[in-house]
Structure 1
């Protein structure tokens, strides 16, 4: 009977199970994500080599002129050394770590989750997935508010694979596309795209793309060649928040 149970456990039947319980499922960038991993023994004793947590996110990649959804590991942590889980036994492993600042915020179709895995030799590894909602930093929130105040509406937010010279350590960036629906920029711009690169909780680098609206034949020619797009890099600190609306409006106006 013992040998039969081992065979079943090797294909996941009657094997150990894992369940991760998060203390909070909504977090801001930089906050600590805490919880406990609960491992429950199956029908036999099993050697667990590792418990690992992976923070994952979705992004899109262009393949043959169509969008394909991919997954990226943002960070990975090992939270336990090798141990034996006995049949029917329960063990708990608490964890705590900071949510990386380059984690995409969960807006639009972007999904972020914590993947838990047990590493068991010669057996199917038990896993668990827990989705989390990621909120922006204070500086990022200030930018969103200023864009709204200036008459822009967030049209789309998407994580996209991008070139090495644009991205940082991850294979993608999260783009936020704003349309001018009122105010002075309506009719002057097609859109403004912003990519955030948070350096710290109180500091964030912005890559801003200003897409001017075509005016006349020269404008149409420039638009066809993408010459109507301007890229701007700027770093914002928390002390800039009070004057951010004036500063950002002036910056966009310069390239409108």
Structure 2
């Protein structure tokens, strides 16, 4: 009886661990993992096993800036089952990373974006055992091409973060409820009064879209939409970008 009471508050209870098979992922990429459940000191009945893709997004609440978890995707992997004491269970899993998953590897310390997989065992009348695995998410080739075009156009990446909300551009809209902003600033003197350029990616099948916010001195903000095929080369995209930036 004592062990059951302790397990209900998480002491000696079952544990769960998701082990990814890839070290680095890209938005829209298939991935695989093994979910390992280690039984505790007593048998425990669970009502489900859920894997959730989560990011942390900035939001404005009551005139204050807060950071909130936003679920980008979720997979329910198991229904009711009993985790026997001392037993180990391994469940294979295959999924696809949401195409709007924020990039975490670009920009080093200047990138404030966080993405993780949250694995949870749903235990009735007890503390739910859970596991959080941070993800390294790299840009897709189409995203890398635009970043390279921004650099050739005379801008450098200043910082990156994630905001809560949706984006709407010319012929495209975001779906996930959170979007990443890559903030670029001029590498030297700006001839057109540009103070910063914010880029947000919105993938759409075999095409990439970007909503670009341009902040110019004395003229305020303006928004431009840019769309290109995944195979577009750097010179072509650079020419499109220069036209968009004016």
TM-score, normalised on structure 2?
0.89
> Could you give the per-residue CA deviations for residues 15-58 of structure 1, whole angstroms, max 9, x where no partner exists?
11111111123111121221111111111111122111011101
Q: Residue by residue, what CA displacement relative to the aligned partner does 1:207-241 show, whole Å, maximum 9, x if unpaired?
A: 11222233xxxxxxxx4xxxx32211121112432
Cα separation, 2, equivalents of 1:33 and 1:252:
36
Q: Which of the two has greater helix per residue?
A: 1
Contact in 1 for aligned 2:199/2:211 (Cα 8 Å):
yes
1:190 equivalent in alignment to 2:190: no
Larger Rg: 1
1:149 maps to which of 149, 152, 156: 152
String of CA shifts for 1:148-198, please: whole Å, max 9, x gaps.
Answer: 011101112111124675763333221111112237x44531122211101
- Paired residues in the alignment total 237
Is residue 150–residue 156 contact of structure 2 (8 Å, CA) maintained in 1? yes
**Structure 1 gaps, min length 5:** 215-222
RMSD between superposed Cα atoms in Å: 1.9
Taking the aligned partners of 2:80 and 2:215, their CA distance within structure 1 comes to 55
Mapped contact 1:80–1:93 kept (Cα < 8 A): no
CA contact (8 A) 1:25 1:131 kept: no
Between the aligned partners of 2:61 and 2:185, the Cα distance in structure 1 is: 27
Q: Which 4+ runs in 1 deviate beyond 6 A?
A: none
Q: Tell me which residue corresponds to 2:130.
A: 127
Q: Does 1:238 align with 2:230?
A: yes
Over 3 Å counting, the alpha-carbon distance change for 1:130 and 1:209 in structure 2 is same
Distance in 2, matches of 1:53 and 1:25, equals 18
Q: For structure 2, which runs of at least 5 residues remain unmatched after alignment?
A: none
Matches within 5 A, 1:201-212: 202-212=206-216
Q: What SS class does the counterpart of residue 68 from structure 1 fall into?
A: strand
Going from structure 1 to structure 2, the CA distance change for 1:135 and 1:164 (only over 3 Å counts) comes to closer
- The match for 1:138 is 141
Task: Tell me, yes or no, if the aligned pair for 2:166 and 2:176 is still in contact at 8 Å.
Answer: no
